Structure 1
C-alpha cells in the first residue's frame, strides 16, 4: 500500500500516507486544514460509533454485537474508500484524512474490541470471547476485501 497514486489501478492507503509526495506536501503546506479534517471526521465517526453502541448494548457475558458491527462496517467502508480514492485523483486532498483517518478511524475501534474480549472472558464466557476474537479479525479482513472488490467492480475496475 502507499506509494505513487497515479493511475486508477494503483492501491493507496485510505488515510494520510507520508510516503506519498502529494500527502506529504499537503500536510506540510496546510497542517491546520489536514489536522482539522481529521479532528472533525474523528468526532463524527466517534459519535456514530457511540450511537451504535448505545442502540445495541450487550450483557457482560454476551457477544458484543455493536463493536463487532462497527468494526466490520468500518472495514467494509475502508475497502470501498480504497477503491474510490484512486478514481478521484489528487484534486481533493482533505478527503483522505477526513474520511480515512477521521470518520472511519473514529468509527472503528480496536481498543473497545480488546476490552470487550477481556470483559467477556472475565465474565465467564471464554467460548464467546474467543469466538468474538476470531470472528472480528476474520470478518474485518473479509470486509475490507469485500468493500474494495464490490466498489471496484461497480466502478469498472476488474480484480
Structure 2
C-alpha cells in the first residue's frame, strides 16, 4: 500500500510541476510553438535518465524512492520521458531494429490514435 501512496503523492506533485512549467514557458515564449511542452518533455528526459541510472547504481537507497520519483513524479510530469528511456534501454541492449520500430511505431500509432479519438469526439 505504501508504494501506491508514494506513486500518488509523486504523481500529484509531477502534475502540478508540469502545469506550472508548461504555462510559465508558454506565457513567456508565446503559443505559436509548444515550447512549454517541449521544455517539460526534455527536462523529464534528463530527470528520468539521471534518476533511473542513479538509483540503479545506488543499492543503499531506499527502494521507495523508485516509486516516488521516476514512477510518480516524472511519470505524471511527462510520459514522453518513459518512452525515451525505454527506447534507450532497447538500444543499449543492442536491439537497434526493435528500438527503431518502437520509436517510429509509437509516433505513427500515437498520431493515428490521437486522430481517431479526435474524429470520434467530433461525431458526438
TM-score tier, shorter chain, comes to 0.5 to 0.7
Question: What is the RMSD computed on CA atoms of the aligned residues?
Answer: 2.6
Q: TM-score, normalised by structure 2?
A: 0.58
Matches within 5 A, 1:93-108: 93-108=63-78
Partner of 1:86: 56
Partner of 1:21: none
**Residue of 10, 14, 18 corresponding to 1:49:** 18
Q: Which runs of 5+ in 1 are unaligned?
A: 1-31, 111-139, 146-159
Aligned residues: 83
Greater helix proportion: 2
C-alpha distance in structure 2 between counterparts of 1:40 and 1:85, whole Å:
19
Deviation sequence 1:14-63 (CA, Å, 0-9, x none): xxxxxxxxxxxxxxxxxx1000000000001110111012212243xx11
Answer whether contact 2:22 2:39 (CA < 8 A) is retained: no
Consecutive aligned runs of 4 or more in structure 1 exceeding 6 Å deviation: none
Q: TM-score, normalised by structure 1?
A: 0.46
